[in-house]
Amino acid sequence: MDPKSSSTEISVEFPTIFKIYKDGRVERLTGTDTVPPSTDPETGVRSKDIVLSLESGLSARIFLPKLPDPTRKLPLLVFIHGGAFVIESPYSPLYHNHAALLTSEANVVLLSVNYRRAPEHPLPVAYEDSWEALQWAAAHSNRNGPETWLNDYVDFDRVFVGGDSAGATLTHHVVHRAGVHGLNGAKIVGMILFHPFFGNEKPDKLLEVIFPECNGLDDPRVNPGKDPTLGEIGCGRVLVFVAEKDFLRDRAWTYYEALKKSGWGGVVEILESEGEDHVFHLFNPSCDKAVALVQKVVSFINQD
């Protein structure tokens, strides 16, 4: 066979996301642009890239707001980006700008996790990376960790975990895991799910490709509403965002109802953006509904 033809033959294709060629090469069709860490001249938000694990290559981009009082400890938001577990990163313009906006508006230290992506690293690698990142951050509570911004500026009794789409799926997983197994050094106060990518009773071709170890439609890692231990989630407050035109909308509502009935003792709130589609706030952050969404996050994080 002509090697050139084998290198162009497609094995698996998801037209708007990625292709896998028969020679094993992966081509991402979007979400590949990156921007460097920076200091925002308007807000004063600083960012830098850090390595969490030399062994696995797990990394992150960390954001620090302007500090009028450097002695004041700030909440920590561990943020897990979306992109179908396959595309985008903390270094993408969409996610860099969103993280910087949340950092400035909510006045938090934000750790944006660069988990290893499928299909090169099939799920559940992203689940394990996200959990490792949360544990890594919490280990700074002794003020002697490798990252000075966490040592110096974070109140580890006010930790939040948030993510959008696939990142919201990972967010639920790590907060639930913290509830079941404990999280040394930090208290997770709240969880924020932006348009979560949860499974339902219908087969998902993408998950069949990128999550070969999935245990079917009721696997709690993709369909947490089916988890008999859902009520053990490791925080006291949950905020769920949905969008009216999002094909994932009903799955988030199902999760919301399941959490309320689970025996969990916390407070869950759901907010629906009328007329909007999946993660609209990333693409049009200045529109009224995106501004309202961010302000809801700000009040959620900073309420007494």
Active-site residue numbers? Answer: 165, 246, 278
Q: Which of 79, 100, 76 is nearest to 150 (CA)?
A: 76
Tokens at residue 54, please? 């030399």
Q: Which of 153, 4, 158 is nearest to 78 (CA)?
A: 158
SS3 of residue 7 by DSSP: helix
Can you tell me which residue has the tokens 């999002």?
Answer: 246
CB atoms within 10 A of CB 243: 24
State which amino acid sits at residue 237: R
- Buried (b) or exposed (e) across 162-193, using 16+ Cβ within 10 A? bbbbbbbbbbbbbbbbbbeeebeebbbbbbbb
Tokens at residue 204, please? 């998902």
Q: Are 176 and 188 in contact (CB under 8 A)?
A: no
Question: Terminal CA-to-CA distance of the chain, rounded, Å?
Answer: 67
Angle at 86 between CA 208 and CA 104, to 5 degrees: 135
Please list the residues that pair with 59 across neighbouring strands: 51, 114
CA dist 20 and 86 (Å) reads 12
